[in-house]
Amino acid sequence: MSIEDKIKELKRIIDESNNIVFFGGAGVSTESNIPDFRSEEGLYKAKSKYNYSPEYMLSHTFFMKNTDIFYSYYKENLIYLDAKPNKAHMALSELEKKGKLKAVITQNIDNLHQEAGSEKVYELHGSVHRNNCMKCGKFFDLNYVIDEENCKDNVPVCDACGGIVKPDVVLFEESLDDDTVRGAIQSIMEADTLIIGGTSLAVYPAAGLIEYFRGKNLILINRDSTPYDSRASLVINERIGEVLGKII
C-alpha cells in the first residue's frame, strides 16, 4: 500500500471513529526542534561533556547527589523556550474540537499539546512547566526555575523557605503519577481507535499501556518500526506531523 493510500485509509478510520485516543512520544516534539535526548547526538553530548549517561543524569539518585550538575544538563537539554506546536499538535487539537479525539497521552514534558489547544492531556512523565519546593511544596513556573537570580549554585531555591525546587518531571527510578496512569488507562480502554505516534514503544511502563486497548483500530505512525507493528491495523513509517497534517 502506498503512503497516499495509507493516509486515505487513516482518514477513513478517523471519519468512522467516535472515540479516538492519541498516545505520543519524543517523535512528536522533534518536529518542533526539541531533540530526543536518547538520540546518538544526545548520548554523545552527555557523555563527552558530563561523562555520564543521560539516563543516569536524569535519575532520582543523581538529582539528590549532584543537583547542580543535574540542573546544568536539564536546562541545556530538556528546556526549549522557543519551541512551538507543530502540525501534529495542531491536528490533534482540531480532532478534539470536532469531538473525535477524547484524550492525548504523552511521554513528552514540553506542554506543546496544551499550547496547541488540547484540553484532555495526560502527561505521563510530568512537565517542565510545573515545579515545587521539596521542603514546603510551593509551586513555581518554568521562568522562576531558569532565572539565575532565583538560583544558588545553579539550583533554584524557594523564595519562601529556601528549599530546593524540583521539576514535576518523572525521573528515572521514580514512579509515574497514579491518577495520570489511571486516567490514561481508562481512556485507552474506552477508545475505539488508538493512534500511536512518534514513539518506538520501548520505554516501560508507558509502552505497556497499549495492552489495555480493546478497540477496533490500532494505528502506528513512526519513522521506524516498533515491536507492535504486527498487531496494528495500519502502520505508517513517516513523520507524525506530516501524516496528521494531511488528515486535517
Q: Tens digits of per-residue pLDDT, 184-196?
A: 999 999 999 999 9
Q: Which residues contact 148 (CB under 8 A, 6 or more apart)?
A: 154
pLDDT tens digits, 150-196: 999 999 999 999 999 999 999 999 999 999 999 999 999 999 999 99
Say if residue 162 is in the same domain as residue 231: no
- Using CA of residue 120, residue 123, residue 127, residue 133, what is the dihedral sign? positive
The yes-or-no answer on residue 129 being catalytic is no
pLDDT exceeds 70 at position 5: yes
pLDDT tens digits, 10-51: 999 999 999 999 999 999 999 999 987 666 566 667 788 888
Say if residue 108 is in the same domain as residue 204: yes
Range of the domain at 242: 1-34+85-125+175-248
d(CA 32, CA 177): 26
* Stated pTM of the model: 0.94
Answer with the residue of higher pLDDT: 35 or 97: 97
Say if residue 30 is in the same domain as residue 101: yes
Tell which residue, 207, 246, 202, has the closest CA to residue 23. 207
Catalytic residue among 60, 89, 113, 125: 125
